[in-house]
Chains A and B, each alone.
Chain A
Amino acid sequence: MSRSRKDPRTERATHRVEGSIRPRFDLAAAPAATGRPRRDRRAEERLALVPGTVRRRLDRTQRVAAVGALPAPTTPAVETPPRLRTIPEPACLVAVVPDAPGGRLTPHDRQLFGAARLLADANGGAVLALVESWSDELAIAGADRVLPIPASGYDPEAKALALLSVLDGLAVRHVLFPESADGGDLARRLAALSGEALFAGAESLSAKAVTRAAQGRRIEQRRAPPRLISLATDAVAPHAGTLHEALPVEFAFPEPTAGAILSAEYIPADPAKVSLAEADFVTSAGNGVTDFEVFRALVAALGATPGASRMVCDAGLMPRAAQVGASGTVLEARCYFALGIAGAPQHLQGVARCEHVVAVNTDLHAAMIERAGLAIVADAQEVMPALLRLIAEEKRG
């Protein structure tokens, strides 16, 4: 209790405005320096005031919302470009075999590069990306070298053989695969071909140890990182900070031989039938939607999977299987389009893993509007037919 006592008289005296006969005090000005820090609630409130709203609105999180027509002018690019880091003579190589469907890296692939950087930096090595084609994303993701592997159609065995020749031909210390449908398959093929042990589905990774779950998630296995590792999703953070060279590497691959797969045909998911958990694009209706005929037509026209908030499911307007959220389905979708949904925490939990969110709501302050990448404050009943009209127009002409 060594706090000095407050002296109201001297405190008041510091507020005295000089130059007038009658004593005047400006108590709102400059916080009195009494040695004891005090919060100035008025100044804080002035800072938190959101400009441009009719209703007085305070944003205590200090993130001044951009309320206006289109996005607020973003600060001109004062960001310094990431530093380029070159590794001219690596001691070893850490290879990464991303899925990269259609040549674009998935978030899981980026995490793979993060893990590879971790292993490479610990051993003075470089990260080698084994991809089907070079792209400039690889430099940002953290690849020092890029080796395009020949691929024609779906033939994982041929790809595994090509990888085997890389494993034998170059000083590759580790090969990292994503533990996904195609990546996991390829990893196991390479493990069988090379006779190396595969550490399947690593859930944590450092330069010293990797761990995975076994025996139905009852046992954790742990060892020093072996040569072949497949990595589970969301185990390692993606690489950030430095830019890498992504230099193309030359390598002579053996001639591929015909495999046992006679034909392969890709069948895209039927959005109307696929379950919510598997869906890629979900369009969802909340309590703000009244016309469900139009909603269903819109879902079909967009090629989306229908979803709903709990209010709508409770009312029996949509089946229970369509409920998104904590007590419904947690989505893995890439894009979520919310019509007339307030964005209760229980609902937002179901959307947490969605990369892109689009929201239409009449309430500017709805949580869904804040969560959305494109937020539209408008009546859903008017936007839905407009969307249908526009899609129909585009189809015709």
Chain B
Amino acid sequence: MRIAVLLSAGRHRVSAHPAPVPVELQAIRLAAELGGEAFGLHAGPAIGPLHDTLGHGLPRLTHLRLAENDDPAPSLADALREGAFDLVLAGRSGQGGEDAGLLPYALARTLGLPIVADAVALAEGPQPGTLRVEQALPRGARRRLVIRLPALVTVHPAAPAPLPFAFAAARRGDVETRPGIAAACAPSEMEERPYRPRPKLIAKAAGGASAAERLKAATESASGGGKLLVEPTPDNAARAILAHLREIGVLA
């Protein structure tokens, strides 16, 4: 199976230094454990810290050289079409760029591939040419899908941790550099400014509430005015608890 892993120029979450995106390193691990040939693919001005991905279990990496501020989508689409990959893996969203997670969807659309989001585990499907994908859902639930290949799959941060870095593997891996397709980004209507964390909505606390009121809103029952049972017999207490848990739907 030929697997392409899309790698983006990320930035470290805390230090903002150029660094590989963790979820893409996790994608490399999924590719390595699935077996088959894995290829890294990066389109951008420089390869920089993406060299490290070779140490995390990726044998080879293709770098499509672009000018600063070029759109990577056409170059990637072209390379993916040419490579005739069975499976394309990408991170859920980048870290350090637009971070919208739109590129895999746009690529899948141009290549006519089906796309499945948020994989945490991959395995061979029941028939040849199929893939079993385990998809992460909120609250620890999972969805197991069988999809037809070729396909594009994005990886969720709940996937297994990346393989540990091995220096020798990073030295051994080869990087091929070739020019990409120059394509200017569509002009954006976005206005940019330094990030300012916005206050999250706190239920019930009004805008000008005092600190004590905000603490109360943060720690008090959201449903308000609860039931109180004082010294019931243990059996009555148990019955009340079970009835309440059933009512809110956490107990079958």
By a beta-carbon cutoff of 8 Å, the part of chain A in contact with chain B is 65-71, 74, 111, 154, 157, 180-182, 184-185, 188-189, 191-193, 198, 200-201, 203-204, 211, 213-224, 226, 234-237, 259-270, 273-275, 278-281, 302-304, 332, 334-335, 337, 345, 348-349, 351-352, 354-358, 360, 364, 367, 369-379, 382-383, 385-387, 389-391, 394
A192 B147 Cβ-Cβ under 8 A: no
Q: Whose C-beta in chain B lies nearest to the C-beta of A230?
A: B100
A383 B241 Cβ-Cβ under 8 A: yes
Contact A223-B191, Cβ < 8 Å, known A259-B114, A373-B226: yes
Q: What's the Cα separation between A215 and B251 when bound, in Å?
A: 42
* A354 contact set on B, CB distance < 8 A: 222
Q: Whose C-beta in chain B lies nearest to the C-beta of A371?
A: B221
B11 A266 Cβ-Cβ under 8 A: no
Q: Is B210 an interface residue (CB 8 A)?
A: no
A192 B106 Cβ-Cβ under 8 A: yes
* B228 contact set on A, CB distance < 8 A: 65-68, 71, 369, 375-377
Q: Is B248 an interface residue (CB 8 A)?
A: yes
B141 A266 Cβ-Cβ under 8 A: yes
* A223 contact set on B, CB distance < 8 A: 189-191
Contact A376-B229, Cβ < 8 Å, known A184-B101, A218-B16, A352-B218: yes
Distance in angstroms from B119 CB to nearest chain A CB is: 12
* B116 contact set on A, CB distance < 8 A: 261
B140 A358 Cβ-Cβ under 8 A: no
B147 touches which one: A67, A201, A260, A303 (CB < 8 A)? A260
Q: What's the Cα separation between A216 and B118 when bound, in Å?
A: 19
Q: What's the Cα separation between A364 and B239 when bound, in Å?
A: 20
Q: Is B97 an interface residue (CB 8 A)?
A: yes
B101 A348 Cβ-Cβ under 8 A: no
Contact A213-B105, Cβ < 8 Å, known A154-B145, A279-B140: no
* B229 contact set on A, CB distance < 8 A: 69-70, 374-378
Supply 10 A–B pairs (Cβ within 8 Å), ascending by A.
A185-B117, A218-B16, A218-B195, A262-B125, A274-B140, A349-B218, A370-B221, A374-B227, A374-B244, A376-B237
* B218 contact set on A, CB distance < 8 A: 348-349, 352
* A279 contact set on B, CB distance < 8 A: 139-140
Distance in angstroms from A146 CB to nearest chain B CB is: 23
Known contacts A154-B145, A337-B245, A348-B219; can you find 17 more A-B pairs with CB under 8 A? A154-B143, A181-B136, A185-B117, A213-B99, A223-B189, A223-B191, A260-B147, A263-B146, A356-B250, A376-B228, A376-B240, A377-B229, A382-B234, A386-B237, A386-B238, A390-B235, A390-B238
* A373 contact set on B, CB distance < 8 A: 221, 223, 226-227, 244
A334 B250 Cβ-Cβ under 8 A: yes
Q: What's the Cα separation between A348 and B231 when bound, in Å?
A: 24
* B190 contact set on A, CB distance < 8 A: 221-223
Q: Whose C-beta in chain A lies nearest to the C-beta of B220?
A: A371
Contact A237-B105, Cβ < 8 Å, known A154-B143, A262-B146, A373-B221: no
Distance in angstroms from A266 CB to nearest chain B CB is: 5
A201 B100 Cβ-Cβ under 8 A: yes
* B114 contact set on A, CB distance < 8 A: 157, 259-261
Distance in angstroms from B92 CB to nearest chain A CB is: 9
A213 B143 Cβ-Cβ under 8 A: no
* B145 contact set on A, CB distance < 8 A: 154, 261-265
Q: Is B108 an interface residue (CB 8 A)?
A: yes
Q: Is B138 an interface residue (CB 8 A)?
A: yes
Distance in angstroms from A319 CB to nearest chain B CB is: 18
Q: What 5 pairs across the A-B complex have the smallest Cβ distances? A: A260-B114, A274-B140, A269-B140, A386-B234, A200-B100
B115 A387 Cβ-Cβ under 8 A: no
Q: Whose C-beta in chain A lies nearest to the C-beta of B107?
A: A192
* B137 contact set on A, CB distance < 8 A: 181-182
* A275 contact set on B, CB distance < 8 A: 140
B102 touches which one: A188, A278, A348, A394 (CB < 8 A)? A188
Fill in one digit per residue for B166-206: 1 if any A CB lies within 8 Å of its CB, else 0.
00000000000000000000000111111110101100000
Q: Is B148 an interface residue (CB 8 A)?
A: yes
* A74 contact set on B, CB distance < 8 A: 225
Distance in angstroms from A205 CB to nearest chain B CB is: 11
B193 A222 Cβ-Cβ under 8 A: yes
A235 B148 Cβ-Cβ under 8 A: no
Distance in angstroms from A114 CB to nearest chain B CB is: 10
* B105 contact set on A, CB distance < 8 A: 188-189, 191-192
- Residue from B109, B115, B118, B195 having most chain A Cβ neighbours under 10 A: B195
* B226 contact set on A, CB distance < 8 A: 71, 372-375
* A262 contact set on B, CB distance < 8 A: 125, 130, 145-148
Contact A364-B201, Cβ < 8 Å, known A264-B143, A335-B245, A371-B219: no
* B148 contact set on A, CB distance < 8 A: 260, 262
* A216 contact set on B, CB distance < 8 A: 10-13, 16, 95-96, 99
Q: Is B151 an interface residue (CB 8 A)?
A: yes
* A213 contact set on B, CB distance < 8 A: 99, 195
A214 B97 Cβ-Cβ under 8 A: yes
* A263 contact set on B, CB distance < 8 A: 145-146
Q: What's the Cα separation between A372 and B222 when bound, in Å?
A: 9
Q: Is B211 an interface residue (CB 8 A)?
A: no
* B194 contact set on A, CB distance < 8 A: 218-220
* A266 contact set on B, CB distance < 8 A: 141-143
Q: What's the Cα separation between A278 and B101 when bound, in Å?
A: 22
B109 A193 Cβ-Cβ under 8 A: yes
Q: What's the Cα separation between A224 and B191 when bound, in Å?
A: 10
* A218 contact set on B, CB distance < 8 A: 11, 16, 194-195
Q: What's the Cα separation between A193 and B105 when bound, in Å?
A: 9
* A357 contact set on B, CB distance < 8 A: 221
A217 B195 Cβ-Cβ under 8 A: yes
A389 touches which one: B130, B238, B244 (CB < 8 A)? B238
